[in-house]
Amino acid sequence: MIHDERSPLLTDLYQLTMLQAYRENGFDDTAVFEFFVRALPSQRQFLVAAGLDHALGFLEQLRFSDEELTWLDQSGKFSTEFVAWLSKFEFTGDVHAVEEGRLFFANEPILRVTAPICEAQLIESRLVNILHQQTLVASKAARCVLTAPDRLLVDFGMRRAHGAEAAMGAARASYIAGFTGTATVLAGMRWGIPIVGTMAHSFIQAHTDEMTAFRNFARSQPENVVLLIDTYDTLRGARMVVDLSDELSSEGIRIRGVRIDSGDLAALSLEVRQILDAGGCDDVMIFLSGSLDEYRLRELQAAGTPAAGFGIGTHLDVSQDAPSLDCVYKLQEYGGQARRKRSSGKATWPGRKQVRRQYDSEGLLCGDVLCLEDESEDGESMLRQVMAGGRRVRIDTLAAARERCAAELDRLPQSLKLLDGEAEPYPVRVSAGLRELARDVDRRFG
């Protein structure tokens, strides 16, 4: 309908015009491109890698359809020879990457493509598109998880995510980062992510009285009775829940929770807790939603909210305080020679690189080195080969990525867990070998 997400034409026009020029001028040597984030948003102290599985899936199936080839041919922009060559296009390169769920920092490549230059070039736009969105949301979600580690966190953002793919990517990325689940049903079907849901105001409004609405919902979903109590008057809603709890218990139905979506959430949740407890409903959990993010979670907890869980919607799915990352995919080597761009404020480090990570005596991250792939620097090598000749060489699972992220967040120094980023940035040292290579490249080019 709106697009075909697998289409190789989900790319910028210049990729195709450059490809034709490469072809016509005999450029078919191996190129090395790396994906990295140039600078972290001021609201982020670390990022969580996500999206790799879909990026690799995109590469594996990349082909031009007959419809696309015909359209390109008739567009008048490309030669017949070039379109014929595209008809045989596939991705045959190698990919090295940082696994999903791991933490990374500015200027550290999390994906490296080694392939004939036309293959490595064409995929730029869509690779960035996939990795950017999931990394963006995983990084935002991790902040929520660090802020409220002992509460249930659920992705409620589908409706205001930027389209279908963003909604699905957000459900997946937030689950990697440690969310309990999502409200997006398709994410449950596709990936087995736990799906969570309550009820909407419209359900209450469609009934002539709130109590009947609660009763009808409870009997229809006896295993999942979470009642929305703020449609008219939240405290009155809580008292109705107490009354209904007695009535339903005789039917063997237990009310699991109530949701509050408006008003002073901290104060209301405390008052509702009192009403529920006084009414013998101390096992009914309180769930809060409504414009929540990590900053609001911090406030609510500081105010002593007894909520057991939070639905995080729009702010998570669009990464409201930092809705984009300054991420790029840059040529670092061609034909065996390292390359770099030197554009003002946008210069890159040349060559095939590796990130080596060091840990302190407590196992916490204490510093990375950005170095050449074959340079001897201590530390854990972050980039590993994930694709050879266009085929994956290792299979990762969503569950593994989620466990990995939890372990990573445990290894994060306390200062980097702060929401407001007043700490010193995490140290990423550029190796001597890399600095020397940059000087060497500058002597040879430009």
Binding residues among 388-407 for a copy of itself as defined by CB under 8 A: none
141-170 residues near a copy of itself, rule: CB under 8 A: 156, 158-169
Q: Is 297 helix (H, G, I), strand (E, B) or coil?
A: helix
Taking the C-alpha atoms of residue 290 and residue 307, their distance in angstroms, rounded to an integer, is: 13
Q: Enumerate residues 6+ apart whose C-beta is below 8 A from 299.
A: 266
The secondary structure element, H or E, covering residue 366 is strand 365-372
CB of 360 vs a copy of itself, minimal distance in Å:
35
* Span near a copy of itself by CB under 8 A; candidates 11-19, 247-255, 295-303, 394-402: 11-19
Query: Binder to a copy of itself among 206, 399, 418, 432 (CB under 8 A)?
Result: 206
Task: Supply 282's token pair.
Answer: 């101390």
- Which CB, 133 or 431, lies closer to a copy of itself? 133
* Span near a copy of itself by CB under 8 A; candidates 2-10, 241-249, 371-379, 418-426: 2-10
300-319 residues near a copy of itself, rule: CB under 8 A: 314-315, 318-319
46-105 residues near a copy of itself, rule: CB under 8 A: 54, 57-58, 61, 68, 71, 75-77
Could you give the C-alpha distances from 135 to 131, 200, 422, in angstroms and in order?
Answer: 6, 30, 22
Nearest-CA neighbor of 278 among 270, 288, 267?
270
- By the rule CB under 8 A, 361 interacts with a copy of itself: no
- By the rule CB under 8 A, 174 interacts with a copy of itself: no
Taking the C-alpha atoms of residue 141 and residue 269, their distance in angstroms, rounded to an integer, is: 23
The number of beta carbons lying within 10 Å of the beta carbon of residue 357 is: 22
Q: Find the angle CA(287)-CA(290)-CA(292) to the nearest 5 degrees.
A: 90
Query: Binder to a copy of itself among 44, 96, 112, 126 (CB under 8 A)?
Result: 126
SS (H, E, C) 389-405: CCEECCCCCHHHHHHHH
CB of 27 vs a copy of itself, minimal distance in Å:
6
179-198 residues near a copy of itself, rule: CB under 8 A: 183-186, 188-190, 195-198
Kindly report the backbone phi and psi dihedral angles of residue 328, in degrees, each rounded to the nearest multiple of 5, phi listed first: -140, 165
- By the rule CB under 8 A, 199 interacts with a copy of itself: yes
Sheet holding 94-97, edge to edge: 337-338, 327-334, 30-37, 111-116, 94-97, 384-388, 391-392
- Which CB, 196 or 370, lies closer to a copy of itself? 196
CB of 123 vs a copy of itself, minimal distance in Å:
11
Site map 317..336 versus a copy of itself, x via CB under 8 A: -xxx--xxx-x--xx--x--
Q: Is 210 helix (H, G, I), strand (E, B) or coil?
A: helix
- Which CB, 314 or 408, lies closer to a copy of itself? 314
* Span near a copy of itself by CB under 8 A; candidates 83-91, 178-186, 294-302, 361-369: 178-186
